[in-house]
Amino acid sequence: MPNQSESNGRSWGLLRQVAQRVLPSFVLIFSCITAPLVAEPASEKTYLGIVKSVDLFGEVYREVATGYVDKIDTSELMYAGIDGMLRSLDPYTVFLDEEDSGELDEMTSGQYVGIGVSIASLDDAFFVTSVVDGYAAAKAGIRVGDTILAINNKDVRKMALADVKAMIKGVAGTSLTFRLARQGSAAPVTATLVREEVRVNTVSYAGVMKGIGYIEMKSFSARSADELRAAFRGLQRDAQEQRVPLKGIILDLRNNPGGLLNAAVDVTSLFVGKGSEVVSIRGRSAESSKSYLTETPPLDAAIPLALLINGESASAAEIVSGAIQDLDRGVIIGERSFGKGLVQSVIRISYDNALKLTTAKYYTPSGRLIQKEIKPAHESRKVLPKAPEGNAQQIFYTKKGRKVYGSGGITPDIPVSEQAMFPFLAELRKKGALFLFSNGYCASNALPPLLPLDRQKLMASFDDFLRKKKFVYTSDSERHLTELKESLKKSQPAEGLPELNTLGALQQEILKLKEQEIGKESSRVAQALEVEILRHYNERLARRAELDHDAQVNKAIEVLSDSRKYASVLHP
């Protein structure tokens, strides 16, 4: 059984590697933070406790691996044990296998090897959903809406999405051949491409709207500050060309999951004075506690600034927004941020695996803890000490004395809720109806349309498309009513059930209400169709069309355009 032996060897090696990494760390920590006379017994006790625990874990693992009634995968058993151990801590302390470790490198470096496309599975086919300008796919003429039929002569139509994505990525300099179906083209389209390093820009869009510069950042990588600086300079040039003064900057951090700590500090340093504290981290030892200050003069320390955040703004995005708020450098608009304020250190371990370990917590300049309260997935064992009372009622003060409250996450100065997506529109997006309809539209129109389109004509075409696709939308009320009817039928014979007649009448009323709601939302559906159609031609045109109807963006433009209103937020 060579595979089983190899698996056992890898698992035991991994266990030894964890022990070798953990034990010296505990000894070092206790040596550094404890007085000499106390350090030796404390470190010895801790050391012996870890040795005992590792030995116990190894013994249980060995007995299960060799004696369990069914044959098991010993590597997966080891990983399950590690995952179970880490789940008792927090959601962010995780074990990364070789594939996960590679994805982490991709995220933090801001680049990957590929051809510059995004794909999705819709309507039982794989579609190209975006093409990055300047890279292999764009150079080869691949378009948004193309359907992937085969890669390197291998039919992919029955494959899993993850497997197709894996085929596209590879070693830089190697080639691959696509066979594509394109609406409006009778014969398949063939394209041969060479894989290359694709740079993933963290600044995804920048533009001037009504004299206000808008910059959207999707993550924080090593190049984020340089990208933001370049975007800012570009906005200044655009404003000059439009012959309007640049009255303010909107930095959109909504749906930004964060990234590198140093990138957050560098981004903040573009707008605040040199030597300003951006964030502090406090860990278990003195060595893991540190304050991060800006080290360079700002790009612009005076231009009015508004940051947009929502419930998906996390980590580095919260560091930036928390610092800007505490230093009274700009106004925060939107919804409370996610509340992810834990520092992870990536420890490389054997067999190209890694351990992402929480080692400290983030605090804003005023002293607020960014991290919201979290409960471990398993509470049967009290691994962590009981947390102190939360700081929800604690009052903190900004540099100019404004009150801010600690409760995890960043609370905006001006709350503005995002417009909730109507369930019918959400279902259209989920099933790819907007995307597929736009494919057909673009096949018949070579140039992007001028907005607004004739919405009455557009919606008539879309309704016809939905009928042909046999698209069915079932509301939550309809689903609940169906479940109730089925429950009644099971409880007793249908004969003599007057309740069913009542439910039948109710069903008709629900259908009427659904049609009324769909009618009321037709303008939003038409707007979404316009954006999706534009996206097939040009991502920038589509994004600009979206922003024109964005309530939070429009609020930021309103505040930045009115100097008195802006000042009243920062000087209450």
Per-residue pLDDT tens for 242-264?
A: 999 999 999 999 999 998 999 99
In 3-state terms, the chain is what percent helix, strand and coil (to 5)?
45, 20, 35
**Is a pLDDT exceeding 60 seen at residue 387?**
no
Give 473's pLDDT tier (boundaries 50, 70, 90): very high
- 3-state SS class at 119: strand
| Separation between Cα atoms, residue 562 and residue 210, nearest integer Å | 12
26 vs 10, more confident: 10
pLDDT in tens, 503-515: 778 888 889 988 9
CB neighbourhood size of 464 (10 A): 11
The model carries a pTM of 0.81
pLDDT of residue 13: 56
> Mean of the per-residue pLDDT values for the chain?
86
Q: Tell me what percent of the residues of the chain surpass a pLDDT of 70.
A: 85
Give 502's pLDDT tier (boundaries 50, 70, 90): confident
| Separation between Cα atoms, residue 308 and residue 248, nearest integer Å | 13
User: Range(s) for CATH 3.90.226.10 in the chain?
Assistant: 203-376+391-418
pLDDT in tens, 66-84: 999 999 999 899 889 999 9
pLDDT of residue 280: 97
Cis omega (within 30 of 0) for bond into 452: yes
**Is a pLDDT exceeding 60 seen at residue 386?**
no
Q: What secondary structure does DSSP assign to 349-417, as a single string?
A: ETTTEEEEEEEEEEE-TT--B-PPP---S--SS--SPPPPPPSTT-EEE-TT--EEE-SSS---SEE-P
Contacts of 53 (CB under 8 A, 6+ apart): none
Averaged pLDDT for residues 16-35: 38
Averaged pLDDT for residues 440-469: 89
Q: Which of 16-30, 206-220, 385-399, 471-485 has the lowest mean pLDDT?
A: 16-30
pLDDT in tens, 111-130: 789 999 999 999 899 999 99
CB neighbourhood size of 391 (10 A): 16
Whether the CB-CB separation of 369 and 410 falls below 8 Å is answered with: no
CA angle (378 as vertex; 407, 28 as ends), nearest 5: 80
Give 90's pLDDT tier (boundaries 50, 70, 90): confident
| Separation between Cα atoms, residue 368 and residue 353, nearest integer Å | 34
Secondary element (H or E) of residue 155: strand 154-155
| Separation between Cα atoms, residue 117 and residue 207, nearest integer Å | 23
CB neighbourhood size of 286 (10 A): 11
User: Range(s) for CATH 2.30.42.10 in the chain?
Assistant: 111-199
Which of 514, 525, 516, 520 lies closest to 426 in space, CA to CA? 525
Distances (CA, A) of 528 to 205, 425, 440, 552: 19, 8, 16, 17
Whether the CB-CB separation of 281 and 254 falls below 8 Å is answered with: no
Residue that the structure tokens 């309260």 belong to: 373
pLDDT of residue 67: 94
Averaged pLDDT for residues 472-491: 84
Active site residues: 315, 326, 340
Query: Which CATH fold topology does 111-199 show?
Result: Pdz3 Domain (2.30.42)
**Is a pLDDT exceeding 60 seen at residue 1?**
no
Whether the CB-CB separation of 536 and 368 falls below 8 Å is answered with: no
Q: What secondary structure does DSSP assign to 190-202, as a single string?
A: EEEEE-EEEE--S
pLDDT of residue 490: 75
Distances (CA, A) of 480 to 297, 371, 486, 506: 60, 37, 10, 12
Whether the CB-CB separation of 401 and 540 falls below 8 Å is answered with: no
pLDDT in tens, 546-572: 999 999 999 999 999 999 999 999 987
Query: Which CATH fold topology does 203-376+391-418 show?
Result: 2-enoyl-CoA Hydratase; Chain A, domain 1 (3.90.226)
- 3-state SS class at 280: strand
